């Protein structure tokens, strides 16, 4: 076997192996139920349920997938396939108005959690 012929194959295998380790690899499935709902429960549900301040001010309920997708009294906050057009992502990532940081007055989401929300939206914001 010619050594020159095996090098491209070896390089390809290394790249594929590294991509498999990358959480942003294109084949990673990200769903609301598995990946996003735990983040919402931990960081958002305290304020964005009926009767709480976040829900009262914005009209944004986050107690179900359907409510999350419905958005606020001002309209949708998620544009499936476009995190950069989705105010939910922009707010949790700190890319919106600097005076508005979500979760409000709480510890910000981790970089991994923000990435998970971005990937979920960019991959269509599917439920499961």
72-110 pLDDT, tens digit per residue, is 989 999 999 999 999 999 999 999 987 888 998 899 999
SS3 state of residue 51: coil
Would you say residue 24 has pLDDT above 80? no
Model confidence band, residue 16 (pLDDT cutoffs 50, 70, 90): very low
Alpha carbon 77 to its chain centroid, in Å, reads 12
The pLDDT tens digits of the residues spanning 38-55 come to 999 999 999 999 999 999
Q: Distance between CA 24 and CA 83 in Å, rounded?
A: 14
Q: Distance between CA 43 and CA 90 in Å, rounded?
A: 15
Q: State residue 4's pLDDT score.
A: 52
Domain ranges of the chain: 27-122
Q: Distance between CA 60 and CA 118 in Å, rounded?
A: 19
Share of the chain above pLDDT 90, in %: 70
Would you say residue 127 has pLDDT above 90? yes
- Dig out the tokens for 98 from the structure: 């600097």
| Mean pLDDT score of the chain | 85
Task: Give the angle subtended at the CA of 106 by the CAs of 94 and 39, to the nearest 5°.
Answer: 75
Q: State residue 79's pLDDT score.
A: 98
Q: Distance between CA 13 and CA 17 in Å, rounded?
A: 6
């Amino acid at each position: 076997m010619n050594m020159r012929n095996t090098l491209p194959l070896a390089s390809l295998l290394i790249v594929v192996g590294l991509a498999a380790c990358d959480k942003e690899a294109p084949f990673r499935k990200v769903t609301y139920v598995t990946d996003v709902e735990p983040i919402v429960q931990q960081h958002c549900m305290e304020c964005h349920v009926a009767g709480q301040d976040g829900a009262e001010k914005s009209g944004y309920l986050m107690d179900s997938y359907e409510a999350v997708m419905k958005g606020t009294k001002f309209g949708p906050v998620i544009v499936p396939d476009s995190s950069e057009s989705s105010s939910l992502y922009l707010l949790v990532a700190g890319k919106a108005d600097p005076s508005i940081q979500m979760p409000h007055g709480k510890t910000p989401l981790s970089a991994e959690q923000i990435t998970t929300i971005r990937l979920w939206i960019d991959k269509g914001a599917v439920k499961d």
